[in-house]
Amino acid sequence: MKMTTTLTAAAALACMIAACDGPKEKAGAAKDEAAAKAAGVSYDGNGPAERAGEAADRVDRAAVKARDSEAAALKNRGKAIRAQADAEAEKLEQEAEALRDQARTKADALARQAKTLEQKN
């Protein structure tokens, strides 16, 4: 999943850097070119359908980026929850060990008292 997100982000970045045409922009350009041919004029590569497609491609890329960011935030939240649970568990383990030590100390003291009483008999 992380690799897919990284590849998606890298592809989007590469398209933005290289100013590549997205699928909707390409479809718009084809539509504009067909309309220009039908009207008997030359197509200059900057028609309304192409511009609309380019805008739609930007919206799509922004949506992917937003989803990727949200996914990363959720993963980070999960990591924070795990880290907090680990810290709390460690604290509880230390408290349990301290209780065991106290119990051992009390039990040893009681055993010594019992031994002393037994020796007096």
Mean pLDDT, residues 44-71:
96
Distance CA(55)–CA(52), nearest Å, equals 5
Do 61 and 16 form a contact (C-beta atoms < 8 A)? yes
4 or 32, which is more confident:
32
Give the model's pLDDT for residue 109: 97
Q: Which H, E and C letters describe the chain, residue by residue?
A: CHHHHHHHHHHHHHHHHHCCCCHHHHHHHHHHHHHHHHHCCCCCCCCHHHHHHHHHHHHHHHHHHHHHHHHHHHHHHHHHHHHHHHHHHHHHHHHHHHHHHHHHHHHHHHHHHHHHHHHHC
Distance CA(91)–CA(97), nearest Å, equals 10
Average pLDDT, the chain: 88
Lowest mean pLDDT among 9-13, 83-87, 117-121: 9-13
